[in-house]
Amino acid sequence: MMIENPMVLNNWHDKITEPESKKDFFGDEVMPTDDYVIDCGEVILIENLERYLKEQLGFEFSTGK
């Protein structure tokens, strides 16, 4: 008879030894497969880049005519 460890069965994680997930400037979780940029040590997901440029750096975007 094989007995499974309940911690494995319940997908238990040790929060003390498990590294905290990385967050971007706006608090969104950064996954290992995500694309991001780093500005002065701040991680910004690509999908948040335009927002960051507008709100934090004052960029203005326009379409050519």
In terms of Cα–Cα distance, which of 41, 62, 39, 33 is closest to 52? Answer: 39
CATH of the domain at 48: 3.30.40.30
Q: Containing domain of residue 47, as a range?
A: 20-60
Give the model confidence (pLDDT) of 2-56 as tens digits. Answer: 666 655 555 555 556 656 789 999 999 999 999 999 999 999 999 999 999 999 9
Q: Per the domain annotation, does 35 fall within a domain? A: yes
Q: Which residues pair with 29 in a beta bridge?
A: 23
Q: Per the domain annotation, does 53 fall within a domain? A: yes
Q: Per the domain annotation, does 7 fall within a domain? A: no
CB neighbours of 47 closer than 8 A, spacing ≥ 6? none
Total domains in the fold of the chain: 1
Asked whether the predicted pLDDT for residue 64 surpasses 60, the reply is yes
Q: Per the domain annotation, does 14 fall within a domain? A: no
Other Cβ atoms within 10 Å of 36 Cβ, number: 18
Q: Per the domain annotation, does 3 fall within a domain? A: no
Main-chain phi, psi angles of 54, to 5 degrees: -70, -55
